[in-house]
Structure 1
């Protein structure tokens, strides 16, 4: 299988996973043009996977269906997503040709957000980012924390295929929260070199995220201490949901 992130819009990635013949799964096509361009070079879309309803993840679907009528579209059970041919939910499995993906419900960024896990890959949309996580537009801190915990329990070698190129901005925040973390320092420097060479910083691995990402480290003493020092009314030491909520609020207001 051949994994490729197609840059789209301002900072999105459309993920493709192709077999040796060029038949490919297309994940979260926020616009059609990058997929159409890849098709001109031999890519043949076989199905579309959608993680959530936001336009920058689904906006290209109509044009792709116009080009390839009958293309299967797997999406969450959310009427805000049109053009779905199959609605999928938690613990279901998508099997198509040589691809198999397990579906995980990961509410938080949106209430109906899902992720697809298979072939050592995690297509997680805007739930988990490299060194960060999504904003809580619809869900609660408890929902998002539970979703992140669930993703963090997947094998450490799983490659995290998130929806945006946010690593450098996330790194700036993470290093304020966890400045003495050597794994985070290495990841931040590596990401800066990648972007300087105009290379994607993703996919990362879950093992790296668990070592570096403060939103997966709410139980780490250094992260708890940083949140407590930042908050006027610090959360209780054993209240991981409140710690996570405070960390997410801090990131929402953070300016590097």
Structure 2
């Protein structure tokens, strides 16, 4: 019932027909709408996603991550959109590589990040800082694990629509990012924080890796029918070059093993009831899963 209600909240407004995917893009460009906000999903590189979020009452627009400025600039020009902000999740080049070029081409744009390793930042965000974008509020959530300076962005819609969570390389559909500079304890704390957010939040991760994540999830919980159903859905999406993000936060709690480390079935896979040790074991196994 929770999943059904959350889907209905996001299905009340029409979604435009997806644009055709260019031969060199891994997915089609798709708009996801709710009351007061539209999120444009933009594919880049091998499997990255960038996002444009627009406050519908005011037209104010921000980018999430800068993987490929050429694609971003082409979309902005085609859609006649003006960028006000760019929010960078972390310092890895496939998420932050376009900051210097953007700063040169559009010096009026506020480039926001929380890691000094990211170039051309003109607004250093602080833990739990809130930034207004039109009628929307962007909450800057410090999520150190994949990198020590990683931030996720939780966006509340001023018009009353459900929120969105942009997770970079922290959380993916059916999985999570590697603990490159962090620990299982940190990832567990992040999961607990995400679980406290509204269940109807949509989750937008930074990569298209859902099928592999769900295949791993099936090895963890082979009897979990939610995982199998979502994997079938994801495979159909990818056959049509459609992106698999977003998912609903309440759905991730049904099929994402990294959000289920307190669940007995996931703990059975790792052979331990400690959720932090379970998190450690899951990530270790996922690191070598192909």
The TM-score with structure 2 as length reference comes to 0.82
Distance 2:212 2:62 in 1: 29
Structure 2 CA distance for aligned equivalents of residues 205 and 37 of structure 1 = 29
CA distance in 1, matches of 2:203, 2:133: 21
Query: What are the ranges of 5 or more consecutive residues in structure 2 without an aligned counterpart?
Result: 1-36, 157-162
1:248 equivalent in structure 2: 283
For the residue of structure 2 that corresponds to 1:244, the secondary structure is helix
Task: Tell whether 2:81 aligns with 1:46.
Answer: no
Which of the numbers 34, 50, 55 marks the counterpart of 2:71? 34
Please show how residues 5-154 of structure 1 align to structure 2 within 5 Å. Answer: 5-20=41-56, 23-41=60-78, 42-76=80-114, 78-119=115-156, 120-154=163-197
Match of 2:236 in 1: 193
Among residues 269, 280, 290, which one is paired with 1:226 in the alignment? 269
Q: Do the aligned partners of 1:122 and 1:159 also contact (CA within 8 Å) in 2?
A: yes
Contact 1:106 1:148 in 2 (8 A): no
Structure 1, unpaired ranges of 5+ = 229-234
1:199 Cα deviation after fit: 0.4
Report the more deviating stretch, 17-26 or 67-76: 17-26
- Say how many residue pairs are matched: 246
**Match for residue 203 of structure 2?**
160
After TM superposition, give the deviation of residue 22 of structure 1 in Å: 5.2
State the secondary structure of the residue aligned to 2:107.
coil
Q: Is the 8 A contact 2:69 2:102 kept in 1?
A: yes
Q: CA deviation at 1:85?
A: 1.4
Distance 2:118 2:62 in 1: 18
Tell me if the contact between 1:30 and 1:61 (Cα under 8 Å) persists in the aligned partners: no
Q: Secondary structure in 1 aligned to 2:49?
A: strand
1:19 is displaced (CA, Å) by: 3.6
Shift of 1:96: 3.2
Whole-angstrom CA distance in 2 between matches of 1:24 and 1:108: 28
Q: How big is the alpha-carbon RMSD for the aligned residues of Structure 1 and Structure 2? A: 1.3
Scaled by the length of structure 1, the TM-score of the pair is 0.92
